Structure 1
């Protein structure tokens, strides 16, 4: 409305406003100071805003009652009383919860984030409020209401168009990063560069500062100089031990069913525990409870299907997904061709698959019961042999590699709103991890000069079974105080095993093979049980002047037989948020009871997970983090940060050493224990536009390790001491329904141990054990890792559904980035070792097609 007046009495102005707008304005003239007048000029303003301005000089305010505006005194009894506005935010299209959505007043004087279930509780003073509801990729909605009692408001937000989505996402991304977290929406994952046409949350995470892998995704994530086993990865609240298909090239997480992902690299809240480096919390969708829909996808290496819909509309839903590689036949044919080209025989077969299932039930308006299940794994089998003669000598070799690994997760969740500002989450879960690997390698030569047959056989097994129960309680006392409490119990069963047999036979060439069944009997693996009881308390409070503190403590008691470890880990963080700047400072004490024992440092699934025991102390860590951010404009920001972490009682193995794990506990005494440090600085710049998004980040960091029993007790560079790395990404809208993505990364090479030549032969019980000689651990740095990826996405619609085509080129520069060193014996002199840098992927084109039905 528009309205103008000069020196008019307030009662006259109120009557004119009521007549002009048709809104009944109720007031008492006896309570209005008759000596004052009103002068105002308003153009295209809201009526309530005009009324508020003209009433302020008279010490009056207004209330909206039944569609009428009542003019009351600012001293009206109960005006400063507080009430709770609470409810759930869900999507309009599918009824999905919108986790961590923002709920705030339009003037930004108060606000909260929803919890992981989309529940919010905001305490406000009695009166009129304009409340904004916002979530990434959805249309923002504003509710005008008078709050005079505790009120429940459940909101549903509709999906937005592309332009709005980009702007809102950038705003939320910056907001969450102010609190030391990095948020990954489904669109951010989809726009990250794909490998072989597969969208992947871990690929998106790997493009952030401070995060690296061995090469091309192999070996899991290293966050700020930590090992891959130091990351707590939660999938719908269930811990996951190994996250990779194809040795880490593709994650086990199906991007089509992910609702929300958050990475915490520093400032760990007290509710998380058990790891030293990072938290990755992934939540899957509940399934559409409004209508049925599905998705079919075919990429370069795999196909997947998703189906979801209501069991009972608004009350129950289901979500099912299945994914499997279809590359088995051409992997076999290609491997057979390569082997036969080298005058050998054999083939390689490989496949992976995963299944997700989820059932969700809403019991009334305050309770949700969910059942989740995941089962996935990989199967690799390779057998190659050669037998040839040359210049009177016969050469024979055999290489067998059989590996299987996989996860099985199951959980039951009960989420309840116990009161107007109290929320409870109860989960019972099972997490199982199993891996076994069998390797056989033989090199033999039969000539006039020498007859020698050297063979090695390895068998590794790792099983981890976790059965847990956890309860979390959130209490929003008022707008300035949020309390979190929780407790949990988990029972663990570990079954590690490793046996290695190496021998030299100087008789006739011995063609027999030590089979997997034979060597696994020699391993004689035992199971080791442990249990852990945890509890935490956490308070998040607003100290005023845009200063937010999070203080808490995470406590744990761990038992292994008669051995008990107890820990209290304080956590603290401070966030100062201005209009255009923000500052974060945090520190945390951490403890980890489970570690992975690796003999190659690559984080392959054959690593053994072991538990703290009488001889293996739990790993302890300290993590400090600070960052300073600047909002340069509505579409750009820059962040600068620094971190420091220290670790002790971490474990490792020496190069060329084989630790036999064949039952009992004596082997635990032989595991080297040491300490580590990592520190560095990070910087990032983000810019967004309706037609483009650009991001660049850089990290300069150092990471080292020191073990009394390794490297002569001297400090050495950690494998993932990259020193310097930078990632650049550009997402450009090339048309109404097309987009181009470009990703470039430069990272200083990782460190590996290079044998300096020669062998040591030790005889024990008649056996000959042969080892390369390593004069230093991680004494060689690979060349820099450089990769450029380009991809194009095309979207369209038809009567069938929505179509999406991705065409991309991985490693455009055809850079040969080494993954690991292959150390093998020379066929002509078995005492000489040949060393080759192995790179996996040259330039690799990829293609994927996705059909979404019912969306």
Structure 2
């Protein structure tokens, strides 16, 4: 089968080409004004796809496709240098360059490097996100290949980290904390996540043990940057699942980043058991504008609008499941439709002030507004065959799902942040005020009749799975502050101490969260040992205080977790490349948790209950460039997470995200005889997850969702790749990269279960009918990068 896909890929990418080879080789040395060699200097040929970095001796080699070109040398903390070259003939030339220090920027680089050294985070290779074959098309798909993250749904941008749920994760864009919608209940209704890959300049992810500068959540932080680019550029991404266009424009005093995305995953949803007319349309528009008034004062504006409309007119469903000796079959005929609409708009204004070279201040003001609607009016008539060993037992019934829900949420925040260096110290502090208000109108119910016809609610054959009719309005104000000091104890040892303090007028608690990180790097510079310890407290919010019936528990207290971890990063040479091995052991004790159930991707809290629990595990990761410029990595995560709901007399039970084993691999290679063709292979395995029937009145882990197993593969060719011996002349004229992808999602066509439809027969026996995720699908897309203008 793989051979057939390779053949298809070759046919799709074949075409007329003309000869084109690099014409000029440029070599040289980059130093500072004192003559010291500079490593990690980025050397770029403007308007071409070529770039490289200087080695530990400050040396570099780069190739130009033309005889007339411009070289650009950049390094954070130094002023960029541009060199125009116009050679009369092809050959080799030498260009030595001296970079001058930019004092204000250099201090910021010192602060940034210190924070990275003392950050329990993984730096994400942005190029991986573009090449990763992922059905959702969202940037968060790359997170599911990282240590500590549990995968179980390829349609969703939501993710679970070390036993927590999605609400326990933080997202920052340009130091701005992002608020996300609430109502989404199924992954097929999800659209585009906030992060726009076309605008990204950097991203890092922490699965725990993060520093005090980040907010009050229990699990993780995703910190991404849309920063000033080196030069103007534009990229177009067009495929069967959607379209995106991103542009970066640079001027001497300002820059503009703008991106628009459109997604329609009808082709993916067509492989699910529910057959019908799917109309999923999702759009996202983002922009960042920056202006530099002077070397000490600059302004940045962030704007975002995200809209999603999901409409489904189901016709029928057929699901076959169970063991070969006891096959069960569910057939449903539908009447009615579902329509969901989500709109989120927001923006932020950031004023950056550098009163002196070693002092950086930011004043950030943000506002986000979400309006979410769910309209469901579905009736289903079902025939459920529970045949066992040749005996036919049929259940005939009907059910109704109805919802007319409206949720509006507003969030405004104002925050002041500062970083300052004092010899061996980097001192940071921040103050933040945030107000949130919610207006929620809930009107929903689910009715099931297993006797063959709908009856009154008083009869024993009929049960009401869910009946909610409430109107809630809530305002919450949060006040937070943090201080932290990153201190160099010696040439090999760094210590970071920080504390967060917060107060909210909902729980009326003053929360104090101390945090510590210790890093030791031996003299050989190949290892880093890290130890973290801290207290993490998550104040109650609207979602966690809302009970199943829509009522609010206004007496809920903050969730609290005591965390400790020990990790090792080790770089070594093997298999012809530099490899990096990372490992971390962690333990979390939760003395106050709000238990919850998972309904597909919907988190449903038992808002009036309280639990204690623990989570412990180990993450291992190894990766490197087994093939030049293509990063591959493999990770294994082991974990156990349990909780004991107070006064329920059941003792410790598994938490909903207790996925004991996770394995992932992202491997990239070039075809041996045709290195211009690349292969991108993603493998995900997550062991089974505990689940309980929503028809019971208490928390249970007596049932399980089977293990999640998925293989996605992609094949690509950049027609302007340096390995391409033949290149189309007209492509070189207008584009710096022209890449075609053929992707096969769910290569092995595995039926992964995301949740269950629960039914009862006349004898009150419960049946769990699996809701499957997507089957095998073929996708084609083009990623085109236009010629960069000089800047």
Counterpart of 1:52 in structure 2 is: none
Distance in 2 of aligned mates of 1:525 and 1:706: 32
Counterpart of 2:489 in structure 1 is: 543
Contact 2:716 2:739 in 1 (8 A): no
Deviation of the 1:598 alpha carbon: 8.2
- Alignment equivalent of 2:263, drawn from 322, 325, 333: 325
**Alignment RMSD (CA, Å):** 4.8
Question: What is the count of residue pairs matched by the alignment?
Answer: 660
Alpha carbons of structure 1 residues 93 and 321: separation in structure 2 relative to 1, 3 Å:
farther
- Alignment equivalent of 1:467, drawn from 367, 387, 412: 412
Distance in 2 of aligned mates of 1:795 and 1:814: 31
Distance in 2 of aligned mates of 1:141 and 1:719: 59
Deviation of the 1:365 alpha carbon: 1.6
Distance in 2 of aligned mates of 1:349 and 1:283: 33
Deviation of the 1:104 alpha carbon: 11
Paired residues for 1:575-614 under 5 Å? 575-578=519-522, 579-595=525-541, 597=543, 614=554
Distance in 1 of aligned mates of 2:611 and 2:782: 49
Deviation of the 1:477 alpha carbon: 1.0
Contact 2:126 2:202 in 1 (8 A): yes
Alpha carbons of structure 1 residues 752 and 247: separation in structure 2 relative to 1, 3 Å:
farther
Paired residues for 1:128-207 under 5 Å? 151=103, 179-195=119-135, 198=137, 200-207=138-145
Paired residues for 1:21-100 under 5 Å? none
Distance in 2 of aligned mates of 1:452 and 1:745: 38
Contact 1:336 1:348 in 2 (8 A): no
- Alignment equivalent of 1:374, drawn from 293, 301, 304: 304
Deviations 1:507-527 (A, max 9, x none): 9979xxxxxxxxxx9844222
Deviations 1:667-711 (A, max 9, x none): x9963222332110111112325265331111111012222366x
Distance in 2 of aligned mates of 1:507 and 1:743: 46
Q: Give the SS at the match of 2:505.
A: strand
- Alignment equivalent of 1:782, drawn from 706, 714, 723: 706
Structure 1 unmatched ranges of 5 or more? 1-45, 50-62, 70-88, 96-100, 107-117, 122-130, 135-139, 158-171, 340-345, 388-394, 511-520, 600-605, 662-667, 756-770
Counterpart of 1:674 in structure 2 is: 611
Q: Give the SS at the match of 1:251.
A: coil
Counterpart of 2:513 in structure 1 is: 569
Q: Give the SS at the match of 2:128.
A: helix
Deviations 1:81-127 (A, max 9, x none): xxxxxxxx9997899xxxxx999999xxxxxxxxxxx9978xxxxxx
Q: Give the SS at the match of 1:525.
A: strand
Counterpart of 1:228 in structure 2 is: 166
1:274 aligns with 2:216: yes
Contact 1:469 1:488 in 2 (8 A): yes
Counterpart of 2:778 in structure 1 is: 845
Contact 1:541 1:549 in 2 (8 A): yes
Of 278-287 and 235-244, deviating more is 235-244
Deviation of the 1:822 alpha carbon: 2.0
Alpha carbons of structure 1 residues 452 and 732: separation in structure 2 relative to 1, 3 Å:
closer
Deviation of the 1:192 alpha carbon: 3.0
Distance in 1 of aligned mates of 2:198 and 2:539: 33
Distance in 1 of aligned mates of 2:426 and 2:113: 22
Of 632-641 and 837-846, deviating more is 632-641
Counterpart of 1:557 in structure 2 is: 503
Alpha carbons of structure 1 residues 141 and 408: separation in structure 2 relative to 1, 3 Å:
farther
For normalisation by structure 2, the TM-score amounts to 0.72
Distance in 2 of aligned mates of 1:103 and 1:548: 26
Deviations 1:410-468 (A, max 9, x none): 1001112110210111110012333332333435699xxx9997544344444332100
Deviation of the 1:190 alpha carbon: 2.4
Counterpart of 2:434 in structure 1 is: 490
1:805 aligns with 2:750: no
Counterpart of 2:357 in structure 1 is: 420
Alpha carbons of structure 1 residues 249 and 575: separation in structure 2 relative to 1, 3 Å:
farther
Q: Give the SS at the match of 2:472.
A: coil
Distance in 1 of aligned mates of 2:313 and 2:190: 22
Deviation of the 1:324 alpha carbon: 1.2
Paired residues for 1:344-359 under 5 Å? 347-359=277-289
Deviation of the 1:819 alpha carbon: 1.2
Q: Give the SS at the match of 1:798.
A: helix
Contact 1:437 1:460 in 2 (8 A): yes
Distance in 2 of aligned mates of 1:831 and 1:648: 37
Distance in 1 of aligned mates of 2:350 and 2:162: 33
For normalisation by structure 1, the TM-score amounts to 0.67
Contact 1:594 1:610 in 2 (8 A): no
Contact 2:399 2:447 in 1 (8 A): yes
Counterpart of 2:646 in structure 1 is: 708
Contact 1:597 1:610 in 2 (8 A): no
**Over alpha carbons, which structure has the higher Rg?**
1
Q: Give the SS at the match of 2:140.
A: helix
1:627 aligns with 2:567: yes
Deviations 1:281-328 (A, max 9, x none): 11124467x55x422221121011223324xx3112222211112556
Of 696-705 and 177-186, deviating more is 177-186
Deviation of the 1:273 alpha carbon: 1.8
Distance in 1 of aligned mates of 2:698 and 2:212: 42
Distance in 1 of aligned mates of 2:771 and 2:397: 27
Contact 2:201 2:229 in 1 (8 A): no
Alpha carbons of structure 1 residues 791 and 651: separation in structure 2 relative to 1, 3 Å:
farther
Distance in 2 of aligned mates of 1:778 and 1:645: 24
- Alignment equivalent of 1:263, drawn from 205, 225, 243: 205
Deviation of the 1:806 alpha carbon: 1.3
1:835 aligns with 2:772: no
Deviations 1:148-179 (A, max 9, x none): xx956779x9xxxxxxxxxxxxxx99995874
Distance in 1 of aligned mates of 2:274 and 2:447: 29
Contact 2:426 2:486 in 1 (8 A): yes
Counterpart of 1:724 in structure 2 is: 661
Q: Give the SS at the match of 1:187.
A: helix
The higher relative CO (CA closer than 8 Å, separation ≥ 6) is in 2
Counterpart of 1:72 in structure 2 is: none
- Alignment equivalent of 1:314, drawn from 237, 246, 252: 252
Contact 2:693 2:758 in 1 (8 A): no
Distance in 2 of aligned mates of 1:592 and 1:380: 32
Counterpart of 1:168 in structure 2 is: none
- Alignment equivalent of 2:193, drawn from 251, 265, 272: 251
Structure 2 unmatched ranges of 5 or more? 1-28, 48-52, 59-73, 82-94, 318-331, 384-394, 456-466, 721-730
Q: Give the SS at the match of 1:417.
A: strand
Counterpart of 1:481 in structure 2 is: 425
Distance in 2 of aligned mates of 1:817 and 1:335: 12
Contact 1:494 1:609 in 2 (8 A): no
Counterpart of 2:689 in structure 1 is: 750
Alpha carbons of structure 1 residues 693 and 655: separation in structure 2 relative to 1, 3 Å:
closer
Counterpart of 1:647 in structure 2 is: 590
